[in-house]
Amino acid sequence: MSYVMTTRRLKFINMTSLDQLVGKPYESGAHGPDKFDCWGLCVYIYKEVLGIDLPHYFGFESKQRYPKKMSHEIFKEDSDWQIIDKPEPFCCIAMSRTKVINHVGILVPEAGGICLHAVENDSVLAQTIPRLRLSGFTNMVFLRWKND
């Protein structure tokens, strides 16, 4: 599946993504529109832009269970996610600074590809993939939602 640019998506790209989401505060378990955790930001964008309801995985916002739960959901045999070789618009980027995936963002097609991600003790940030790598997120997996 690839995402074509509909009027709704172009509206998001031109008006909403960076201007209205960057800088929103981080809050564990928040799914927008005023506060987000990393998974909540992905859920929000998928719903608002793509019209896709992603599951609210129980435990995603729990620091103790988050890495285990996220890895289990992404890499299980019957996962709703397809691992892709390179990033594409609106793919999720599961990432970490260690071997265990513990963070997620979403790639929006502005400026050649910007990852929006909500960072604990901070806010929603917009960074390129090279910038993410420079900030320590060297373990990245690009994911496409299979069940639309």
| Domain total of the chain | 1
User: Residue 101 falls within a domain, yes or no?
Assistant: yes
Q: Residue 66: enclosing H or E segment and its boundaries?
A: helix 66-75
Write the CATH number for 12: 3.90.1720.10
User: Residue 1 falls within a domain, yes or no?
Assistant: no
* Residue numbers of the domain that contains 127: 7-145
User: Residue 36 falls within a domain, yes or no?
Assistant: yes
Q: How far apart are CA 124 and CA 147, in angstroms?
A: 26
Q: What is the mean pLDDT of each run of 10 residues along the chain (148 residues)?
A: 45 55 92 91 89 73 51 70 90 88 86 87 93 94 84
User: Residue 2 falls within a domain, yes or no?
Assistant: no
